[in-house]
Amino acid sequence: MNNKPTVFVVDDDLDMRNSLKWLVESIGLTVASFPSAESFLEAGPPARPGCLLLDVRMPGMGGLRLLEHLRARGSSLPVILLTGHGEVSMAVTALKSGAFDFIEKPAAHQVILERVQDAIALDRKNHTRASEKAAFEDLLAQLTQREGEVLERLVDGEITRDIAQAMAISERTVEKHRERLMHKMQAKSLAHLIRLVVEHRK
Amino acid sequence: MLENVPAWLPASQALLPHGTCLLWSPGLMSLHVASDALIGLSYYSIPFGLAFFVRRRSDLAYRWIFLLFAAFILACGTTHFFEIWTLWRPDYATQGVLKAVTAGFSLSTAVLLWPVLHRALELPSPKQLAAVNAELTREIASRQEMVRRLEVEADERRQLEEKLRRNEARLRAILDTAVEGILTIDEQGTVEMCNPAAARIFGYSAEEVLGRNVDRLMPDPHAEAHRDYLDRYRATGNGSILGRVREVTGLRKDGSTFPVEIAVGEFANGGRHFTGILRDITDRKRAEQAVRDSEERLQQQQAELLHVQRLSTAGELAGMMAHELNQPLGAIANYLGGITLRYGPVLEAHPSLAEAIEATQRLSARASQVVWGIRDLVRRRESGREWVAPGLIVEETLALLRPELERRQIRLQLAIPPALPQLWGRRVQLQQLLLNLMLNAMDAMAVTQAERRKLTVRARSGGAGAMEIEIADTGSGFKPELAEQLFEPFVTTKPEGIGLGLAICRSIAEAHGGRISARSVLGKGSTFTVNLPTDNKEPARHE
């Protein structure tokens, strides 16, 4: 996973496209620009983390339909819609369709960059969460069936005696299982373990 | 001489038979005997004739004189026969008695005859009688004729009366069942007749109206005017309203007034009388008012649409211009922003350059504000939002087009379900959207054969919080690759079109949080679909 974020720009207006590229590259971000929604889709799944600066009004597949298409495909790429002034109703529709935000054109460059950075931060966070979750799932997979059961009961707040009784094993065995699963899950404490489980199961 | 007396004759006293005087001359004797016999026989025959006459003429006046006469003649006859007797037998005493009897009859007859004669003269003669009789017969005949005629007349009269009764019954039935109120008044205005409908119309019973002045059925200024009118008409015969149907105001018993249509006729029947046939036209008035209102509404809608059409065209143009200008303005801002970020140290070293760049940024922002300002100015004049029923909007729009549809021989197929969710939007804009699409559809069918021309308007609920309106035609259609471009400004398939209609449609649909799309089979027809959200009013809030 490349950690350098990419900003995608989709706008049919060449000047606008180039100027956005110029602006965003000014803060050291990589920009990939496309003249249409179709050409963006043709380029394949976008690199992450990143965000998409998307013009609403384009011939062919417009910005809104591209957004819907992405969401339908399950992509979580944050999308900032570039709308004309007063096209608020469209922007609201866009937000409902899952856009990260919208910006009225023309906007101060600070506003554009701020939103781009916010979007990237979100995507990165999403991305981090996603990789953490993947790692957590990997660790979880190493547990034996017994250790998994003990973990479930610990997360549910049962004490050792109850667990032993419920599982018809000795308290000593329960403690052994716990030690082993905490080691496997790389948990520093019981509290840490429970937090990990709860966070990734949301 | 005695020897000459036949032996069979009774002997008498010593008187000589009369024959003696004749000296028994056989000639003289024969003469006398024959003459007397003939006279006597003649005399005797007469009473029989008389008796026959009397018997046959039972109507004879003074029958007794005939009988007396008969007796007198019979007696005369007898004296003559007795003369013959006395020729041989001198029974003069008997003869004398006989003559005396005869004299009695004669005298009686002679005496009684005169007054009778006098009176008999006054009796009509049979000719006269016949004339009288004929006269009488004629008279009888004429009387019989008269009687016959009277009977016929009586019969006719009976029939006439029957007819009158029937007519009256019919009239009564008509009056009783007539929907129209029927009143008759005399020239003072007193109600003489009032049918149930008339009473009902005014909320009275017939008895309450009869005999009262008709002006109680009119509200005050009218009642006064009616009295004056009657006075004037009575005096001068001027100002006749007869034969014309007029609209007046009626007053009900409960004091409410209502419009009445009335036709007045006049008839003479011992003075002037007037018949009024009247009708409560409240409902009709209301219907007329409704028609007027709806026409007014239609005109108002047309005016509004025209106004909005102009505004939208201006708005669309302004919006387009704004968009086209803002693209380069936005690019300028982006470039300048990039410059300030990339060349911070250079700008710090050259403050005047930094100033110039800052001014350029400010000016480009100002330019775009000016552009948007123009657009907002147009937008601000648009009407506000309200809840609108899609079916009603379709109806209102079609109302504007129906005459044109008819003129162009285009059939209309409507499929609007009754229970569609309401839209939160600008009524007139939505109307304009539909109107543009319908007009396009109608124009597209100009080349279609008349029997194939069909405009279909369909609406349906498009799942939760959405609805769909479809306008389909059987016109020339367009190439599928044009489907997306069609809504761009200045794209048109019409020779005289400027290509803003569909751009406006798209703007309106999008302003309502919806979208519009088109599909077509070239040469077969096109379908335009408008999807609009119905769930909430959020999309409108900011505008």
Q: CA A163, A166, A170, A174: dihedral to nearest 10 degrees? A: -30
> Which residues have CB under 8 Å from B130's CB, separation 6+?
none
Residue B35 tokens read as 């003459």
Give the end-to-end CA distance of chain A in Å, rounded to a whole number: 24
| Chain A residues inside the 8 Å CB shell of B488 | 59
Q: Residue B541: what pLDDT?
A: 37
d(CA B202, CA B279): 10
Q: What is the mean pLDDT of chain B?
A: 84
| Chain B residues inside the 8 Å CB shell of A89 | 510-513, 539-540, 542-543
Q: B484 and A22: CB-CB below 8 Å?
A: no
For residue B463, the one-letter residue type is: G
- Facing B542 at nearest CB: one of A19, A60, A88: A88
Q: Residue B352: what pLDDT?
A: 93
Residue B295 tokens read as 């026409």
pLDDT per residue as tens digits for the range B498-515: 778 888 888 888 888 888
H or E element at residue B51: helix B26-56
Q: Is the pLDDT of residue A32 over 80?
A: yes
Q: What is the mean pLDDT of chain A?
A: 86
- Chain A, chain B: beta-carbon pairs less than 8 Å apart: 100
Q: What is the number of alpha carbons within 13 Å of residue A15 lying toward its C-beta? A: 12
Residue B516 · residue B529 · CB < 8 Å: yes
Q: A93 and B513: CB-CB below 8 Å?
A: yes
Residue A171 · residue A158 · CB < 8 Å: no
Q: B337 and A23: CB-CB below 8 Å?
A: yes
> Which residues have CB under 8 Å from A12's CB, separation 6+?
A35, A36, A55, A58, A59
| Chain B residues inside the 8 Å CB shell of A90 | 510, 513
Nearest in space to B487 (alpha carbons), one of B471, B505, B470, B475 = B505
Residue B457 · residue B394 · CB < 8 Å: yes
Q: Residue A80: what pLDDT?
A: 93
d(CA A58, CA A41): 15
pLDDT per residue as tens digits for the range A109-153: 899 999 999 999 998 888 888 888 888 888 888 888 888 888 888
Q: A85 and B512: CB-CB below 8 Å?
A: no
Q: Is the pLDDT of residue B283 over 60?
A: yes
Q: Residue B7: what pLDDT?
A: 56
CB contact, 8 Å: A12 with chain B?
Answer: no
CB count within 10 Å of CB B123 equals 13
For residue B283, the one-letter residue type is: D
Q: B538 and A90: CB-CB below 8 Å?
A: no
Q: A106 and B375: CB-CB below 8 Å?
A: no
Q: A15 and B331: CB-CB below 8 Å?
A: yes
Best mutation target, A109, A114, A116, to test chain B (most B CBs within 10 A)? A109
| Chain B residues inside the 8 Å CB shell of A64 | 515
Q: Is the pTM of this model over 0.90?
A: no
Chain B interface with A: residues with Cβ < 8 Å: 319, 322-323, 326-338, 340-342, 364-365, 368, 372, 375-376, 379, 484-485, 488, 510-513, 515, 533, 538-540, 542-543
Question: Percentage of chain B with pLDDT > 90?
Answer: 15
List, as one string, the DSSP characters of B217-282: GS-HHHHHHHHHHHHHHHHH--S--TT-EEEEEEE-TTS-EEEEEEEEEEEESSSEEEEEEEEE-H
List, as one string, the DSSP characters of B503-515: HHHHHHHHHTT-E
pLDDT per residue as tens digits for the range A43-66: 888 887 899 999 988 877 888 889
Q: Residue A140: what pLDDT?
A: 84
Q: B372 and A85: CB-CB below 8 Å?
A: yes
List the single residue in B with minimal CA-CA distance to A60.
B484
CB contact, 8 Å: A114 with chain B?
Answer: no
Q: Which residue has the higher pLDDT, B288 or B379?
A: B288
What does residue B535 show for φ and ψ, rounded to 5 degrees? -75, -40
Q: Residue B540: what pLDDT?
A: 42
- Facing A16 at nearest CB: one of B322, B327, B540: B327
What is the rounded average pLDDT of the residues B271-284?
Answer: 87
Residue A10 · residue A46 · CB < 8 Å: no
> Beta strand pairing status for B257-268 and B272-280?
antiparallel
Q: Residue A1: what pLDDT?
A: 46
Q: Please, which residues 71-110 of chain A have a Cβ atom closer than 8 Å to chain B?
A: 84-90, 92-93, 105-110
pLDDT per residue as tens digits for the range B363-408: 988 888 888 787 777 666 666 788 888 888 898 888 888 888 888 9
- Facing B330 at nearest CB: one of A16, A88, A110: A16
Q: Is the pLDDT of residue B9 over 70?
A: no
pLDDT per residue as tens digits for the range B203-240: 998 888 888 888 888 888 888 888 888 888 878 776 66
Q: A106 and B333: CB-CB below 8 Å?
A: yes
d(CA A14, CA A2): 28
Q: Residue B542: what pLDDT?
A: 37
What is the rounded average pLDDT of the residues B328-346?
Answer: 92
| Chain A residues inside the 8 Å CB shell of B336 | 109
- Facing B539 at nearest CB: one of A13, A60, A92: A92
d(CA B543, CA B531): 20
Q: Which residue has the higher pLDDT, B462 or B438?
A: B438
For residue B474, the one-letter residue type is: T
Q: Is the pLDDT of residue B58 over 80?
A: no
Coil vs helix vs strand at B316: helix
| Chain B residues inside the 8 Å CB shell of A108 | 333, 337, 365
| B10 confidence band (pLDDT: 50, 70, 90) | low
Q: A86 and B372: CB-CB below 8 Å?
A: yes
Residue B514 tokens read as 């919806």
Residue B213 tokens read as 């002045």
What residues are paired with A79 via a beta bridge? Answer: A52
Q: Is the pLDDT of residue A39 over 80?
A: yes
Q: B326 and A109: CB-CB below 8 Å?
A: no
CB count within 10 Å of CB B7 equals 7
Q: Residue B1: what pLDDT?
A: 44
What is the rounded average pLDDT of the residues B403-417?
Answer: 90
pLDDT per residue as tens digits for the range B124-178: 777 887 888 888 889 999 999 999 999 998 999 998 899 889 988 888 888 888 8
Residue A198 tokens read as 């709860």
| Chain B residues inside the 8 Å CB shell of A59 | 484-485, 488
Q: Is the pLDDT of residue B487 over 90?
A: no
Distance (Å) from the C-alpha of residue B399 to the closest C-alpha of chain A?
Answer: 30
CB count within 10 Å of CB B25 equals 12
Q: Is the pLDDT of residue A189 over 90?
A: no
Cα–Cα distances in Å, from B248 out to B221, B241, B290, B366, B433?
A: 12, 12, 20, 69, 47
Q: A108 and B336: CB-CB below 8 Å?
A: no
What is the rounded average pLDDT of the residues B447-454?
Answer: 90
- Order of strands across the sheet that contains B411-415: B411-415, B454-461, B466-472, B525-533, B515-521
